Amino acid sequence: MKIYISFHLSPFTSHVSCLTSHIFLFLYILLLFSLPSYSQETVIQNHGEMVLVPEGEFIMGTNQKDIKNTIDLLGGCEKWYILEYPKHKVSLKAYYIDKYEVTNAQYCEFLNKMGNQEEEKGVFWIKISSSNCLLYQDPKGTYRPKKGYENYPVIMVSWYGAKAYAKWAKKRLPTEAEWEKAARGTKGWFWPWGNSWDKDKCNNWKMKKKELLKLMPDIYEERGPLPVGTFPEGASSYGAMDMIGNVGEWCADWYGVYPGYPYYAGDNYYEFTHKVTRGGSWGIDMPGGLRCATRSIHRSYTTDPYTGFRCSMDVLSAENK
């Protein structure tokens, strides 16, 4: 914040006027030092790197023409994409979002401080007992990533487990709108890198790079997630990695149809009963299911090997840390 004040003092100003001016100048300088700083760094550190998404409008969702074109180009049917309708403008304040998905090493740090607590329907924050979970609890009770999987995204985590981690890290889960803007930018791209599909720019079922396939845990048919940041060429315009593929990501929102949605008769059956995940996952084989606008819904207590999360944070919260 800049405040401009001009002083016009004559050489013949009285001693009283000079004293008054100096007092006013002193108070002005004191005011400047007491004001909070609103500079916005593009990258900050808070339990991992976070990138800035500036304030402004973006286009969210998909219109009917785009849905038809998507079906023609990428396959599927209207039912697959209709949850994205209609396309609409959304204005957001500036915020930070994690550059990478939360990793097993980061989640273990959290668990070793907070424990693995129970939430809705007897579901814990993370399902350690699953063979697909990439971390474990040793005989002394310490949570550790399985060897070699420290930098892989945490999976088998419920929405409650994602939310609890975000709160512990003094962050929060991104809203759907924040997630979509961070992924597609202000140009309304299909994928974070543009409008041309490239199976080698994210972790998806059709990606066939042998050197990367060797790094995957064998969750299903020798496929699974990859270390975060494996595809820098697939980064969004803001520098966020793995927004598409690898693992789907929990958002803060309950699912609801967008304003202006014209369909009824049960189309809103899942409203306020399911949470939203974004980004598809390593298990998706159709590019239509890996677009920035794609919406998926899950019960908040769901844990599976396809879903993880990243966090976001208000700019002012970052500056006050």
pLDDT tops 70 at residue 40: no
pLDDT tops 70 at residue 39: no
Give me the pLDDT at residue 257, please: 86
pLDDT tops 50 at residue 3: no
296 beta partners: 277
Two tokens, residue 273: 């009963």
With pLDDT > 70 as the criterion, what percentage of the chain qualifies? Answer: 83
Task: Give the pLDDT mean for 40-51.
Answer: 84
Two tokens, residue 115: 């424990």
Give me the pLDDT at residue 264, please: 56
pLDDT tops 80 at residue 265: no
Cβ count within 10 A of residue 317: 15
Task: Give the pLDDT mean for 193-207.
Answer: 96
Give me the pLDDT at residue 268, please: 61
Give me the pLDDT at residue 267, please: 58
Stated pTM of the model = 0.84
Task: Give the pLDDT mean for 176-197.
Answer: 96
Confidence band (pLDDT; 50, 70, 90) for 13?
very low
Confidence band (pLDDT; 50, 70, 90) for 2?
very low
Q: pLDDT tens digit string along 56-112?
A: 999 999 988 888 888 888 888 887 888 898 999 999 999 999 999 999 999 999 999
Lowest mean pLDDT among 7-21, 43-57, 88-102, 161-175: 7-21
Asked if 271 contacts 250 with a C-beta cutoff of 8 angstroms, the reply is no
For residue 136, give the 3-state DSSP assignment.
strand
Give me the pLDDT at residue 11, please: 37
Q: Which amino acid is at 70?
A: T
Give me the pLDDT at residue 77, please: 81
Give me the pLDDT at residue 133, please: 98
CA distances to 51, 76, 179, 250 from 295, rounded to whole Å, are 23, 15, 11, 11
Give me the pLDDT at residue 32, please: 38
Asked if 255 contacts 274 with a C-beta cutoff of 8 angstroms, the reply is yes
pLDDT tops 60 at residue 142: yes
Confidence band (pLDDT; 50, 70, 90) for 16?
very low
The mean pLDDT value of the chain amounts to: 86
Q: pLDDT tens digit string along 149-172?
A: 999 999 999 999 999 999 999 999
pLDDT tops 60 at residue 19: no
pLDDT tops 60 at residue 305: yes
Rounded Cα distance between 118 and 125, Å, is 6
pLDDT tops 60 at residue 9: no
